[in-house]
Amino acid sequence: MTRSKFIAVALIVVSTAAGIGFALMTRQQEAPRAADEFEATVPNDASAPGPAPDGMAWIPGGEFSMGAADPLGKDANVVGMQATEDSRPIHRVSVDGFWMDKTEVTNRQFAEFVKATGYVTVAERTPTAEEFPGAPPENLVAGSVVFTPPDHAVPLDTHFRWWAYVQGANWQHPLGMESDLVGREDYPVLHVAYEDAQAFAQWAGKRLPTEAEWEFAARGGLSGTLYPWGDEFLVDENFMANTHQGHFPNEDTHADAHGGVAAVAQFAPNGYGLHDVAGNVWEWTSDWYRPDYYGELAAAGGVARNPRGPESSFDPSEPGVAKHVHRGGSFLCTEQYCSRYMVGTRGKGDSMTGTNHLGFRLVQDVP
Ligand SMILES: [Ca+2]
Ligand SMILES: [Ca+2]
């Protein structure tokens, strides 16, 4: 998702491909899950160094197998390869202990920050002709990228069919100028670009997690499971995360009881006390994105200690757009399109672009 593309090309994108049906590919491919590539998580034995800061949980750190393999019994064309291609090879990593927010940062918390600092987010700033040379002048309006589902099935060939750049959309107006935060104080803050999350972190005396810290924490002490809670998506027929059910993107049946984004902590926490590490909103990490980074670490051999990501970003699908890693998937993730609520899988996004399914949570080092 790249805000600049919307600004450069078209303000509002509306699908015109009515009537083009879309069929899920159903060829079943028994992709090996390669569970044996995962070795046991070995947490550090250091107990929490003191009382937890407000709203945070102690993550002991330790050594673990990082990455994702194709899930057994799933259609590799739909879910497996797409979701796990850049999250291989599975490689051994260790991270030191840290505190982590139990939930995604909320509107209530972000409002305190803005009140204290007067901070203006990227989405609230009017784009200039200098920043976007060649963009039609009428496109130079403040706004953000909003999920705008069509009312009919569409081909899943381009996300422009269900994302639109909406004038006036920002963290205070998540769906556009007419929307507000009344009753949404405990929902995750949305429409935050990377630098917005960084500014909040600096104010809060915290920092964004590295990708490795995020995955270690999200795994909750388990080793190599598909999800933060185990290997079955439903547990006793209960949903464990806010994801998307129904035909994507035009129908959300909210079988998990939440259509769209939900207030934080509506589902049980993982083994480390963290809520919504799968689903609800994607979360920024501090690592630049490169699809070959895991390969580099694996080739170096041994255990990667506190890896902080590659030196720079490169996404072959959008060269020239600097991206950071996103983790955890969102309320829009579905095995029909994006199954990245699987705990070892990766996402990525233009560092200057927030959307209404992207937020963040922070970590704090031991003093
Ligand atoms: Ca849902
Ligand atoms: Ca999340």
367 within some domain: yes
CA 20 to centroid of ligand 1, rounded, Å: 25
Any idea which ligand is nearest the CA of 190? 2
Say what the pLDDT of residue 83 is.
Answer: 67
The answer to whether residue 301 is domain-embedded is yes
pLDDT tier, 258 (very low <50, low <70, confident <90, very high otherwise) = very high
C-alpha dihedral, 271 to 276 to 279 to 281, nearest 10°: -150
The CB-side HSE value for 146 (13 A sphere, CA atoms) comes to: 22
For residue 144, the cross-strand partners are: 166
pLDDT attached to residue 76: 57
Find the domain containing 39 and state its range: 17-115+185-367
- Distance from residue 32's CA to the centre of ligand 2 (Å): 27
- Token pair recorded at residue 198: 């960084």
**How high is the pLDDT of residue 80?**
47
pLDDT digits (tens, 9 = 90+) for 115-159: 999 999 999 999 999 988 888 888 899 999 999 888 999 888 888
The rounded Å distance from CA 293 to ligand 1 centre is 31
User: Is position 150 within any domain?
Assistant: no
Nearest to residue 280, comparing CAs of 349, 336, 331?
331
Q: How far is the CA of 235 from the centre of ligand 2 (A)?
A: 19
* Nearest ligand to the C-alpha atom of residue 327: 2
Whether 71 has a pLDDT exceeding 90, the answer reads: no
Picking from 260, 274, 259, 239, the residue whose alpha carbon sits closest to that of residue 190 is: 260
Give residue 338 CA to ligand 1 midpoint distance, Å: 14
What's the pLDDT at 77?
Answer: 60
**Residue 190: is its pLDDT beyond 70?**
yes
CA of 278 to the centre of ligand 2 (A): 5
Q: Is the pLDDT of residue 25 over 70?
A: no
149 close to 162: Cβ distance less than 8 angstroms? yes
Q: What is the pLDDT of residues 217-252, one digit of tens each?
A: 999 999 999 999 999 999 999 999 999 998 888 899
Decide: pTM greater than 0.85.
Answer: yes
Q: Is residue 169 part of a domain?
A: no
Ligand having the closest approach to the CA of 276: 2
* CA dist 194 → 24, 259, 307 (Å): 34, 26, 19
pLDDT tens digit string along 1-23?
688 777 776 554 332 222 222 22
Give the count of domains, the chain: 1
pLDDT for res 160? 82
Distance in Å, CA 4 to ligand 2 centroid: 25
Residue 26's pLDDT band (boundaries 50, 70, 90)?
very low
DSSP 256-311: TS-SS---TT-S---TTS---SSSSSEEEEEEEP-TTHHHHHHHH-S-EES----S
Cα of 138 vs centre of ligand 2, distance in Å, is 34
Whether residue 122 is contained in a domain is answered as: no
Element (H, E) at 323: strand 323-327
**Gap from CA of 245 to ligand 1 centroid (Å):** 6
How far does the centroid of ligand 1 lie from the alpha carbon of residue 52, in Å? 30
Instruction: Report CA(116)–ligand 1 centroid distance (Å).
Output: 33
Of the chain, the percentage scoring pLDDT greater than 90 comes to: 74
Percentage with pLDDT > 70 across the chain: 89
Q: Which of 97, 21, 75, 148 is nearest to 335 (CA)?
A: 75
Of 233, 290, 313, the C-alpha closest to 267 is 233
* Long-range own/partner contacts, residues 26-32 (CB < 8 A, 24 or more apart): 26/75, 27/75, 27/77, 28/75, 29/75, 29/76, 29/77, 29/80, 30/72, 30/73, 31/70, 31/71, 31/72, 31/74, 31/76, 31/80, 31/81, 32/69, 32/70, 32/72
User: What integer is the mean pLDDT of 293-316?
Assistant: 96
Question: Does residue 127 lie in a domain region?
Answer: no
Identify the nearest ligand to the CA of 243 by its number: 1
Ion ligand 2 — residues with CB < 5 Å = 276, 280, 328
Q: What residues contact residue 250 under an 8 Å CB cut-off, 6+ apart?
A: 149, 150, 151, 152, 153, 154
Ligand that lies nearest to the alpha carbon of residue 341, given by its number in the listed order: 2
pLDDT at 19: 26
Q: For residue 9, what are the CA distances in angstroms to 24, 135, 143, 220?
A: 30, 7, 14, 42
Whether 366 is covered by a domain: the verdict is yes
Could you tell me the CATH number of the domain that includes residue 251? Answer: 3.90.1580.10
Ligand nearest to the CA of 255: 1
Flag whether pLDDT at 29 surpasses 60: no
Q: How far is the CA of 21 from the centre of ligand 1 (A)?
A: 24
Which residues neighbour 303 within 8 Å (Cβ) at sequence distance 6 or greater?
63, 92, 93, 94
What length is written for the chain?
Answer: 367
What's the average model confidence in pLDDT over 93-122?
98
Lowest pLDDT segment from 307-311, 334-338, 341-345: 334-338
Average pLDDT, the chain: 89
Please give the pLDDT value at position 141.
95
3-state secondary structure 131-193: CCCCCCHHHCCCEEEEECCCCCCCCCCCHHHCEEEEECCECCECCCCCCCCCCCCCCECCCCC
* pLDDT attached to residue 257: 97
The three-class DSSP label of residue 6 is: helix
Domain annotation covers residue 197: yes
Q: How far is the CA of 72 from the centre of ligand 2 (A)?
A: 24
Distance 139 CA to ligand 2 centre (A): 31
Of 60-74, 183-197, 213-227, 318-332, where does mean pLDDT reach its minimum? Answer: 60-74
Distance 135 CA to ligand 2 centre (A): 33
Instruction: Output the pLDDT for position 72.
Output: 61
pLDDT at 33 over 70: no
pLDDT at 175 over 90: yes
Question: How far apart (Å, rounded) are the C-alpha atoms in residues 304 and 91?
Answer: 8
Q: What is the helix (H) or strand (E) element at residue 93, kind and residue range?
A: strand 91-95
Residue 147 makes CB contacts below 8 A (sequence gap 6+) with 162, 163, 249, 332, 355, 356, 357
Structure token pair of residue 301: 């051999």
Å from CA of 260 to ligand 2 middle: 13
- How are beta strands 347-350 and 323-327 bridged, if at all? antiparallel
Give the ligand with the smallest distance to the CA of 187.
Answer: 2
Per-residue model confidence (pLDDT) at position 157: 83
Ranges 23-32, 82-91, 147-156, 203-212: which has the least confidence? 23-32
